[in-house]
């Protein structure tokens, strides 16, 4: 039963790592280097913690817990995806377990394709809202009731917490980083979008497109945990360039630009209690 599995996993996290982190950060494709923020870190593979493992290139599949600026922080280095054929509850089991362990806030990161003409490869985009076109929702099925009644129909207004977004934007200004803000569109994948689909997303108001993040965001809202999303533009979307996207180029571009994300997250974690 999913509820008992989550309780057991949260207990395993407590036993393995001790007190929960104040902030948990999910690292997307190629962003594992960001976990270097954590000092005196302990890393344990997902499989040893009872969490779903991933075989996608650029996703290490480990939970890393350490300290940064006097704050306890956890990095979920890698995630599982809808396009792997996983059940919706598997997509969010890791963030749910870490939330039940006691993490007070989450930062969800991922690599995305840039739709808006102002975006350049390597730039960061703060997610202000999303469009879920994956056809999957982690709340389908029996309503999760892990630690008290949870809403059957949770409100997704201010899903990406306005206060946390404002604080992230302020941190970016202090660092001199160009931080965009916009709507994120999630597609099922694993194929990249067609030029026609990108034109559709532009009409819908999306600024970036990817294949993750939204399921975790919905599950965390259901648990009442505040979160933000930060996307890194790893490629320009189909139809906007003559260069076809591929996963190797995506992870390479993200790794080269991960320093800006590391600086931003470090500043945010240091300012959050």
Catalytic residue from among 116, 247, 255, 271: 247
Whether the per-residue pLDDT at 58 is higher than 60: the answer is no
Nearest Cα residue to 64 out of 39, 86, 82, 81: 39
* Identified catalytic residue from 68, 81, 82, 215: 81
Q: What is the pLDDT of residue 22?
A: 96
Which neighbouring-strand residues pair with 112? 233
**Boundaries of domain holding 84:** 2-271
Please state the domain count of the chain: 1
Give the pLDDT band (50/70/90) at residue 145.
confident
Q: How many residues does the chain have?
A: 273
Active site residue 180: no
Q: What confidence tens digit (pLDDT) does each residue in 230-273 have? A: 999 988 888 787 777 767 777 777 777 788 999 999 999 999 97
Q: What is the pLDDT of residue 196?
A: 96
More confidently predicted of 112 and 33: 112
Task: Select which of 10, 22, 29, 89 is catalytic.
Answer: 29
Q: Annotated catalytic residue: which of 22, 35, 132, 212?
A: 212
Q: What is the Cα–Cα distance from 25 to 49, expressed in whole angstroms? A: 17
How confident is residue 28, by pLDDT bands cut at 50, 70 and 90? Answer: confident
Alpha-carbon distance 136 to 138, whole Å? Answer: 7
> Would you call 81 a catalytic residue per the annotation?
yes
pLDDT score of 254: 74
Structure token pair of residue 18:
């001790």
Exactly one of 10, 22, 59, 110 is catalytic; name it: 59
Q: What is the pLDDT of residue 260?
A: 92
Active site residue 90: no
Neighbours of 190 (CB within 10 A): 12
pLDDT in tens, 177-200: 999 999 999 999 999 999 999 999
Residue 133's pLDDT band (cuts 50, 70, 90) = very high
Give yes or no: 59 in active site: yes
Active site residue 77: no
Q: From CA 111, how far away is CA 130, in angstroms rounded?
A: 15
Is residue 82 annotated as a catalytic residue, yes or no?
Answer: no
Per-residue pLDDT at 210:
96
Pick the catalytic residue: 67, 83, 170, 271?
Answer: 83
Is 212 one of the catalytic residues?
A: yes
C-alpha dihedral (113, 43, 39, 165), degrees to nearest 10: 40
For 199-239, how does the pLDDT look when each residue is reduced to its tens digit (9 = 90+)? 999 999 999 999 999 999 999 999 999 999 999 998 888 87
Helix segments in 24-161, DSSP class H: 46-49, 88-101
Q: What is the pLDDT of residue 66?
A: 95
Instruction: Write down the catalytic residue from 84, 167, 170, 197.
Output: 84
| Adjacent-strand bridge partners of 24 | 74, 106
Mean pLDDT over 66-73 rounds to 92
Using 50, 70 and 90 to split pLDDT, how confident is the model at 55? low
**Catalytic residue at 235?**
yes
CATH number, residue 19? 3.40.50.1580
User: Which member of 235, 237, 263, 267 is catalytic?
Assistant: 235
3 is annotated as an active-site residue:
no
- How do strand 124-133 and strand 227-236 relate by DSSP bridges? antiparallel
CA nearest to 184, candidates 119, 248, 87: 119
Q: Which long-range contacts (CB under 8 A, 24 or more apart) does 140-147 make?
A: 140/88, 141/88, 141/89, 142/2, 144/2, 144/3, 144/6, 144/96, 144/222, 144/223, 145/3, 146/3, 146/6, 146/7, 146/96, 146/100, 146/223, 147/100
Q: Tokens standing for 193?
A: 């979008």
């Amino acid at each position: 039963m999913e509820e008992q599995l989550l309780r057991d996993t949260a207990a395993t996290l407590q036993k393995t790592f001790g007190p929960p982190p104040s902030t948990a950060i999910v690292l997307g494709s190629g962003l594992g280097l960001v976990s270097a923020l954590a000092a005196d870190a302990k890393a344990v593979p997902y499989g040893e913690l009872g969490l779903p493992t991933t075989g996608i290139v650029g996703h290490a599949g480990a939970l890393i817990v350490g300290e940064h600026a006097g704050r306890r922080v956890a990095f979920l280095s890698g995630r599982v995806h809808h396009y792997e054929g996983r059940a919706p509850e598997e997509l969010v089991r890791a963030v749910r377990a870490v939330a039940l362990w006691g993490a007070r806030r989450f930062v969800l990161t991922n690599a995305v394709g840039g739709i808006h003409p102002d975006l350049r490869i390597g730039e960061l985009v703060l997610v202000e809202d999303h469009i879920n076109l994956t056809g999957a929702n982690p709340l389908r099925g029996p309503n999760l009731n892990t630690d008290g009644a949870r809403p059957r129909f949770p409100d997704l207004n201010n899903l990406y917490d306005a206060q946390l977004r404002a604080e992230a934007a302020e941190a970016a200004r202090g660092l001199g980083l160009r931080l965009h803000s916009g709507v994120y569109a999630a597609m099922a994948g694993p194929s990249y979008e067609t030029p026609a689909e990108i034109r559709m997303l532009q009409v819908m108001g999306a600024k970036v497109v990817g294949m993750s993040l939204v399921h975790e965001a919905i599950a965390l809202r259901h648990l009442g945990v505040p979160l933000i999303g930060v996307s890194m533009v790893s490629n320009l979307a189909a139809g906007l360039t003559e260069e076809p996207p591929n996963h190797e180029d995506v992870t390479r571009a993200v790794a080269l630009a991960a320093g800006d994300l590391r600086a931003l997250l470090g500043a945010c974690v240091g300012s959050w209690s």
